[in-house]
Structure 1
Amino acid sequence: MDKIKTSIKNYWDWRSTSFGHDADKSVAIADQWESIVHQAVKGAPGKRALDIGTGTGQFAVYLARGGFDVTGIDISEAMVVEARRYAAGQGLQIDFMTGDAESLDFADRTFDVVVSRNLLWTLPCPQQALLEWRRVLKPGGRLMLSDGFWENTTWRRVPRLVFKMLKGMGRNGSRISLRFFCTYAGLQKRLPFYEGVSLDAAVALLRSARFKSVTPYDTCRLKVHPYGATSLKRVFPPFFVASATR
């Protein structure tokens, strides 16, 4: 594993114990996400699914509850451990393993469904990743992709970060901000979408990778903003959900 991916892996290993408590994985929005996932993969040719960048396994669990035979991969071993624990607590059998989103260890046309959330922004080669995801999909297979323009402007955030650290000494959010800064400050120039991914950029990537029927989901339909904003009409955090067909 190269130095960039090792640094990324180490950060998400550290984040694994707190990752499942983020707002977008809360009980308040769980039904929303599950409904979106099932809608996005509707019409897939079969029931074998791959969750790439599975984290603590939230989307993998949603797919398994929908009757899919699910494999979940993540670069972080610690995330995989948390995902296995979460799935076991739900009484579900899901095959979790470590893996590289840009170089999948699966044969061509293995899966009917591929899902991924909040992963493109932290990939050194996002276009290569999408080509890989298409490769492992069967003809007619469905892709669900979600990400956002997170405004990760590391160096411009230094004054704000220092203020936040002083104000919230010892709080978990402050520790996460500092650790994120220390990890990604030296990587941002190597990550094309470090500041985030817009819907337009994602659609262009999908079409370049020869995905068809790219369809955005209208996130204004959500009753609760999954990333903690007080209103779905607020500009920040701007996120998208899109589906496509191989």
Structure 2
Amino acid sequence: MNKIKTSIKNYWNWRSSSYGVDADKSAAIANQWQSIVHQLINGAPGKRALDIGTGTGQLAVYLARAGYEVTAIDISEAMIAEARRYAADQQLQIDFQTGDAESLDFADQSVDVIVSRNLLWTLPRPYQALMEWRRVLKPGGRLMLSDGLWMNTTWKRVPRLVFKLAKDMGRNGSRISLRFFYTYASLQKRLPFYEGVSLESALALMQAARFEAVTPYDTSQLRIHPYGASVPKRAAPPFFIASAIR
């Protein structure tokens, strides 16, 4: 594993214990995501699914609840451990593995569904990742992809973060921001989507990777903003959900 991915892995290992799941925000947010996943994968040719960048396993759980045989991968061993605990609490059988989103250890045309959320922004080679995902999908297989324009400009806010950390005496939010900076400051030039991914960029990337029927999901119809439940709506980060067919 190269230095970039080792740094990324180490950050998310550290972050795993505080990352949480959709239901931590609200049951309504969790139900929204589950409904969207089930809707956008409808019509897949079979029941084998892959969750890439699974984190604490939330999308994998939604897939398993829909009757899919689910494999879920993440670069972070600690995230995988958290995901296994969460799936066990839900009494679901999911195959969690460590893995590289840009170099999948799966045979050509071997899965029916791929889902990925909040991963694209942190990949050094997002186009290669999309090509890999297309490789392992069966013809007619479904892809659901979500990310956002997170405006990761932590490096511009370091003096304020240091002051806030001192004021808050090490509270978790300030520690996360500073740890994020120390990890990603040296990586931002190596990550094409470091500051986040717009819908337009994501759709263009999916089309370049030769996915068909690339379609944005109308997020304006969501009852609750999944990343804005604790902040004013105008301050919530813009995000997208899109689907495509192999």
What TM-score bracket applies, with the shorter chain setting the length? over 0.9
What percentage of aligned pairs have identical amino acids?
78
CA deviation string 1:74-105 (max 9, x = no partner): 00001111111100110100000000000000
Whole-angstrom CA distance in 2 between matches of 1:26 and 1:153 = 27
1:59 is the counterpart of 2:59:
yes
Whole-angstrom CA distance in 1 between matches of 2:23 and 2:182 = 23
Whole-angstrom CA distance in 2 between matches of 1:66 and 1:175 = 37
CA deviation string 1:104-123 (max 9, x = no partner): 00000011000000000000
Matches within 5 A, 1:74-113: 74-113=74-113
Tell me what 1:196 maps to.
Answer: 196
Partner of 2:73: helix, strand, or coil?
Answer: strand
Matches within 5 A, 1:1-246: 1-20=1-20, 26-229=26-229, 230=231, 234=234, 236-246=236-246
CA deviation string 1:4-49 (max 9, x = no partner): 0000000000011111157885434100000010111011111100
Which deviates more from structure 2 when the two are superposed, residues 207-216 or residues 147-156? 147-156
Partner of 1:164: helix, strand, or coil?
Answer: helix
Whole-angstrom CA distance in 2 between matches of 1:54 and 1:13 = 13
Q: What letter is aligned with 1:149?
A: L
How many residues get paired? 245
Contact 2:40–2:144 (8 Å) recurs in 1? yes
Distance change >3 Å, CA 231–CA 173, structure 1 → 2: closer
Whole-angstrom CA distance in 1 between matches of 2:28 and 2:185 = 33
Whole-angstrom CA distance in 2 between matches of 1:202 and 1:176 = 27
Partner of 1:223: helix, strand, or coil?
Answer: coil
Contact 1:25–1:58 (8 Å) recurs in 2? no
Distance change >3 Å, CA 18–CA 104, structure 1 → 2: same
Give the unaligned 5+ runs of structure 2: none
Residue 126 of structure 1 and its aligned partner are, at CA, apart by: 0.3
Q: What letter is aligned with 2:17?
A: T
Whole-angstrom CA distance in 2 between matches of 1:162 and 1:50 = 40
Partner of 2:61: helix, strand, or coil?
Answer: helix
Partner of 2:163: helix, strand, or coil?
Answer: helix
Residue 220 of structure 1 and its aligned partner are, at CA, apart by: 1.1
Q: What letter is aligned with 2:228?
A: G
Which deviates more from structure 2 when the two are superposed, residues 168-177 or residues 136-145? 168-177
Whole-angstrom CA distance in 1 between matches of 2:129 and 2:73 = 13
Contact 1:24–1:227 (8 Å) recurs in 2? no
Distance change >3 Å, CA 104–CA 60, structure 1 → 2: same
- What RMSD in Å do the two structures reach over aligned CA positions? 1.5
Residue 165 of structure 1 and its aligned partner are, at CA, apart by: 1.7
Distance change >3 Å, CA 52–CA 100, structure 1 → 2: same
Residue 235 of structure 1 and its aligned partner are, at CA, apart by: 6.1
CA deviation string 1:52-92 (max 9, x = no partner): 00001000000000000000000000111111110011010
Residue 224 of structure 1 and its aligned partner are, at CA, apart by: 1.0
Q: What letter is aligned with 1:156?
A: K
Distance change >3 Å, CA 237–CA 23, structure 1 → 2: farther
For normalisation by structure 1, the TM-score amounts to 0.95
Residue 192 of structure 1 and its aligned partner are, at CA, apart by: 0.4
Whole-angstrom CA distance in 1 between matches of 2:23 and 2:179 = 19
Whole-angstrom CA distance in 2 between matches of 1:42 and 1:202 = 21
Contact 2:64–2:70 (8 Å) recurs in 1? yes
Whole-angstrom CA distance in 2 between matches of 1:196 and 1:50 = 23
Contact 1:23–1:226 (8 Å) recurs in 2? no
Residue 156 of structure 1 and its aligned partner are, at CA, apart by: 1.4
Q: What letter is aligned with 2:153?
A: T
